[in-house]
Chains A and B, each alone.
Chain A
Amino acid sequence: MTFPTKILMWPQIIRPALIAAVLFMLITGLLYPLLTVLAGQTLFPFQAQGSVITRDGKTLGSALIGQNFTQPYYFHSRPSMTQMTDPNDPNSSISHPYNPALSAASNLGPTSKSLLSSVHSRVQEYRKLNDLSANTAVPVDAVTASASGLDPHISLANAYLQAQRVRVNRGMSQEQILAVVKAHSVPRTLELFGEPRINVLQLNIALDEQFKPVLPTTKLHENNHEE
């Protein structure tokens, strides 16, 4: 082994190491991301700011981030495990579905009692809410929590099972609701990648624009059935 002599250490190893750290921090850590900001903001300003949907000057949410829906005249998103700081106790957290300020998942394994009891109660609730018989198999996406807690999509199977409830609560005909759901189904990319799906927020926005709910809006409440 031939370790460099002391004379070589400084000019060939230590000095370049010190300079390289600062130089490459400036180039890769500041110059590159800032140039990308400039290019992104110029070429794709809508996406670069988070794809925020605006209607009549109001921001309704991001087209990519799911929202929590509890009203019967809306299609409901998947269960979400995101939380927020308890307003009464800053050291603990409470359930707060679809909180994009801190993405979260259950991280429960397949043999977890806690996971299984959550799924059990979600299945029961889903059947009750959508007026389904006690032996209807519930689409798996409707009763399992997503990875981000912000999943904007549901499966077509899930949407069709909810369609009846939404239809009644908005006084729509069978053809109308099916047409809206169909119009919002997203196919696989290049017929190969991803899964066929429906963006719940965009579907609900379309419903609000075309078909007003018939029932009086019940008072909004924190519905934390996802736990």
Chain B
Amino acid sequence: MLITIAKFAVVLALMTGLAVIMGMYLARVFNLGSHSLAERQTYRLLGIDASTEMSWSHYALALLMSNAVMMLLGYALLRLQTWLPWNDLNIAAQTPDLAFNTAASFITNTNWQAYSGETSLSNFSQMAVITFLMFVGSTSGIVAAAGFMRGMSRSSAQAIGNFWVDFTRTTYRVMLPLSFVMALLYIWQGIPQTLDSSAVVSTLEGAKQQLIVGAVASLESIKHIGTNGGGFFSMNAAHPFENPTPLTNLLHILSMLLIPAALTYTFGSMLMKRKQGWVFFGTFLVLFIGFLALTYHAEQTGNPLLSALGADQSVNSLQGGGNLEGKELRFGIADTSLFVTTTTGATTGSVNAMHDSLTPLGGLVALAQMMLNCVFGGDGVGLINLIQYAILTVFFVGMMIGRSPEFLGKKIEAKEIKLVMLSVLAHPLCVLGFTALATVWPGTLDSLNNLGPHGFSELLYAYTSGTANNGSAFAGFNANTPFFNTTIGLAMLLGRFFTMLPLLAVAGSLAAKKTLSESAGTVPTATPLFMFLVVFIILVVGGLTFLPALALGPLVEQLLMLSGQTF
């Protein structure tokens, strides 16, 4: 127990320190100074003028259009897989609905996988489709945040920056160098990085084992730094080749939290409101610690039904105990709980344990964090989602005390609130609407791997994960059917762009307004009180929206488990 608390404290301290360093660096990347030679060459190739800035709509359109072309390119390469190089194992091309789902999944930073990496992708596709889309998908999120923050920091301005410049600089100065260094650390720890596809060995008992290898480390590093989450292997970061040691597990966790946490600091730095950045960081942290404690407690307590059968789940000097079904021994309960909370909080979707086999309350945390979608959140979009709740909080507080709401010196008016509400409502509508549709659509229940309330949780999890652009799954669920590939693909696109675009519009609208000086009537937003108000609003809005669905899934499952009811 003491070790666990020390471990959590060390991880959170490391995360905070790295967030400050990275936050400062990101602010420098976004505050355009001089451009490097590679950057200038890139602008020339793209044919753009780096000094021209764009309005929010122009910026958003460039993001949408580039993402659309990249998604199409990824789709084409997946369909042409058999014609492309490095396909030693003669893997067939993906079907149209599966290739649509995969391309949509990776461009939206979701990384939902309706396929198994080992049997569905060649080494070429793992690099030129998956690794490529991981880079551009996550960079698009960060760039959206850059435009968003720039918009909020300006006064009476029309432009929020140049999308192509932000995109190029973020790729060259942040994503590529970080991923390269991290990939080398990963190879040192045992993650393969080769152009070979497999190696055959003969085991001690004389059987043949076909080890699948490939360019794993280079994918693994961007997968976590970019809060992407799609695995090289079917079992993702639980696979020893994706996550061989407790050290790689720690690096994965820190990588996932790095940019979402750092952006709060960048925000404070770009708006010259350092305290405001820390208040946002604190909001993330309070929610994260609460959810982490719940996961750890539930998983370490374990499954009473297993104890009844003679399995020893207790902690002692010789074992870590807990609910180990679907978990890897090298990580145990504490490191797994950290990973589960991080990956669903920072909407990465990489998994080092099978979430389908978590205890009901452990599964509840995973679901709830994706439903709230702002416990750190994905690269860029986490901060955007949090600010949307902050604006909502200012609005509620303003209503309660009868003052016109202001946020960071800008008047919040009907237009901003409408846009925020569009985003706040699109998310649950997408999650719950599609889940409801799937429960009544003919044939969908054949995809379930579990019966009873857990089966419903599998469906709910799939659409929550898709909409929140998380990508993790209750993986017993068979998602590779035309119905699920199409609807989950749509959920990913709607979930991504119906939160990102309205909030970019808010930033554009706020940039155009004059910055007012604080008056006695202004609600201070850089205080601990405001932090708790935001946490409260997030939990109330999320709770009111999603509790009924959670009650039908994990909550009732927990009660049934305690009473010994099985399915």
Name A residues whose Cβ lies closer than 8 Å to a Cβ of B.
1-4, 8, 11-25, 27-30, 32-37, 39-41, 43-44, 47-52, 58-71, 74, 78, 98-113, 115-116, 119-120, 123, 127, 135-141, 143-158, 160, 188-189, 191-197, 201, 204-205, 208, 220
| CB-CB under 8 A for A100 and B180, given A40-B193, A61-B203 | no
B500, CB-defined interface residue at 8 Å: no
B541, CB-defined interface residue at 8 Å: no
Q: Are A146 and B328 in contact (CB under 8 A)?
A: yes
User: Hey, which chain A residues are within 8 Å of B54, CB to CB?
Assistant: 12
Q: Are A194 and B335 in contact (CB under 8 A)?
A: yes
| CB-CB under 8 A for A19 and B452, given A103-B234, A197-B330 | no
CA–CA, A51 to B538, complex, Å? 46
Report which of B199, B203, B311, B452 forms a contact with A138, defined as CB distance below 8 A.
B311
Q: Are A103 and B132 in contact (CB under 8 A)?
A: no
Q: Are B62 and A17 in contact (CB under 8 A)?
A: yes
Interface of B is mostly: mixed
B241, CB-defined interface residue at 8 Å: yes
| Nearest-Cβ distance from residue A67 to partner chain B, whole angstroms | 5
| CB-CB under 8 A for A150 and B66, given A50-B211, A192-B10 | no
Stretch from B18-26, B349-357, B366-374 that touches the partner? B349-357
Report which of B180, B187, B303, B566 forms a contact with A32, defined as CB distance below 8 A.
B180
Report which of A3, A155, A204, A208 forms a contact with B318, defined as CB distance below 8 A.
A155
Residue of A nearest to B355 (CB): A107
Q: Are B128 and A102 in contact (CB under 8 A)?
A: no
Q: Which of B85-132 contact A (CB under 8 A)?
A: 116, 118-119, 127-129, 131-132
B469, CB-defined interface residue at 8 Å: no
Q: Are B327 and A156 in contact (CB under 8 A)?
A: no
Q: Are B327 and A137 in contact (CB under 8 A)?
A: no
CA–CA, A113 to B328, complex, Å? 22
User: Hey, which chain A residues are within 8 Å of B48, CB to CB?
Assistant: 11-12, 16
| Nearest-Cβ distance from residue A200 to partner chain B, whole angstroms | 10
Report which of A28, A69, A71, A154 forms a contact with B131, defined as CB distance below 8 A.
A28
Stretch from B265-273, B521-529, B557-565 that touches the partner? B557-565
Stretch from B67-75, B287-295, B402-410, B420-428 that touches the partner? B67-75
Q: Are A23 and B66 in contact (CB under 8 A)?
A: no
Report which of B45, B201, B354 forms a contact with A147, defined as CB distance below 8 A.
B354
Residue of B nearest to A18 (CB): B69
Report which of A33, A98, A111, A146 forms a contact with B327, defined as CB distance below 8 A.
A146
User: Hey, which chain A residues are within 8 Å of B566, CB to CB?
Assistant: 111-113, 116
Q: Are A194 and B246 in contact (CB under 8 A)?
A: yes
Q: Are B335 and A30 in contact (CB under 8 A)?
A: no
CA–CA, A180 to B149, complex, Å? 59
| Nearest-Cβ distance from residue A103 to partner chain B, whole angstroms | 4
Q: Are A52 and B47 in contact (CB under 8 A)?
A: no
Q: Are B204 and A110 in contact (CB under 8 A)?
A: no
User: Hey, which chain A residues are within 8 Å of B319, CB to CB?
Assistant: 139-141, 155-158, 195
User: Hey, which chain B residues are within 8 Å of A44, CB to CB?
Assistant: 187-188
User: Hey, which chain A residues are within 8 Å of B329, CB to CB?
Assistant: 78, 141, 146, 151, 153-155, 195, 197
Q: Are A51 and B205 in contact (CB under 8 A)?
A: no
CA–CA, A28 to B183, complex, Å? 13
User: Hey, which chain A residues are within 8 Å of B68, CB to CB?
Assistant: 17
Q: Are B183 and A116 in contact (CB under 8 A)?
A: no
Stretch from B213-221, B391-399, B483-491, B544-552 that touches the partner? B213-221
Q: Given A20-B167, A28-B222, A144-B323, list of 18 further CB < 8 A pairs?
A: A17-B62, A24-B171, A29-B132, A35-B180, A49-B194, A50-B213, A62-B241, A68-B207, A101-B198, A110-B323, A111-B360, A138-B310, A140-B306, A140-B323, A144-B306, A155-B320, A194-B332, A197-B329
Report which of B158, B204, B245, B450 forms a contact with A112, defined as CB distance below 8 A.
B450
| CB-CB under 8 A for A21 and B69, given A32-B176, A33-B219, A119-B311 | yes
| CB-CB under 8 A for A194 and B235, given A50-B213, A67-B205, A140-B322 | no
Can you offer 5 A-B residue contacts whose CB atoms are under 8 A?
A: A21-B72, A24-B136, A29-B132, A101-B212, A102-B119
Residue of A nearest to B188 (CB): A44
User: Hey, which chain B residues are within 8 Å of A111, CB to CB?
Assistant: 305, 360, 452-454, 557, 560-561, 565-567
Which of B131, B323, B329, B354 is most buried by chain A, counting CB atoms within 10 A of its CB? B329
Residue of A nearest to B308 (CB): A116
User: Hey, which chain B residues are within 8 Å of A105, CB to CB?
Assistant: 235, 238, 326, 354, 356-357, 475
Q: Are A107 and B245 in contact (CB under 8 A)?
A: no
| CB-CB under 8 A for A137 and B212, given A4-B58, A113-B567 | no
| Nearest-Cβ distance from residue A203 to partner chain B, whole angstroms | 11
Residue of A nearest to B353 (CB): A147
User: Hey, which chain B residues are within 8 Å of A147, CB to CB?
Assistant: 235, 238, 326-328, 351-354, 357
CA–CA, A153 to B219, complex, Å? 25
User: Hey, which chain B residues are within 8 Å of A64, CB to CB?
Assistant: 190, 240-241, 244
User: Hey, which chain A residues are within 8 Å of B194, CB to CB?
Assistant: 37, 40-41, 48-50
Which of A71, A116, A151, A204 is most buried by chain B, counting CB atoms within 10 A of its CB? A151
Q: Are B73 and A110 in contact (CB under 8 A)?
A: no
Report which of A101, A115, A145 forms a contact with B210, defined as CB distance below 8 A.
A101
B37, CB-defined interface residue at 8 Å: no
| Nearest-Cβ distance from residue A193 to partner chain B, whole angstroms | 4
Residue of A nearest to B126 (CB): A33
Q: Which of B469-493 contact A (CB under 8 A)?
A: 474-477
CA–CA, A33 to B217, complex, Å? 9
B443, CB-defined interface residue at 8 Å: no
CA–CA, A182 to B359, complex, Å? 33
| CB-CB under 8 A for A137 and B311, given A148-B240, A189-B246 | yes
B316, CB-defined interface residue at 8 Å: yes
User: Hey, which chain B residues are within 8 Å of A35, CB to CB?
Assistant: 180
CA–CA, A40 to B179, complex, Å? 13
| Nearest-Cβ distance from residue A65 to partner chain B, whole angstroms | 6
Interface string of B480-520 (1 = CB under 8 A from A): 00000000000000000000000000000000000000000
B401, CB-defined interface residue at 8 Å: no
User: Hey, which chain A residues are within 8 Å of B323, CB to CB?
Assistant: 110, 140, 144
Q: Are A69 and B176 in contact (CB under 8 A)?
A: no
| Nearest-Cβ distance from residue B60 to partner chain A, whole angstroms | 10
Report which of A17, A28, A50, A104 forms a contact with B65, defined as CB distance below 8 A.
A17
CA–CA, A155 to B203, complex, Å? 21
Q: Are A22 and B73 in contact (CB under 8 A)?
A: yes
Q: Are B118 and A193 in contact (CB under 8 A)?
A: no
User: Hey, which chain B residues are within 8 Å of A144, CB to CB?
Assistant: 306, 311, 323-327
Report which of A16, A22, A30, A40 forms a contact with B187, defined as CB distance below 8 A.
A40
User: Hey, which chain B residues are within 8 Å of A194, CB to CB?
Assistant: 245-246, 249, 330-332, 335
CA–CA, A152 to B204, complex, Å? 14
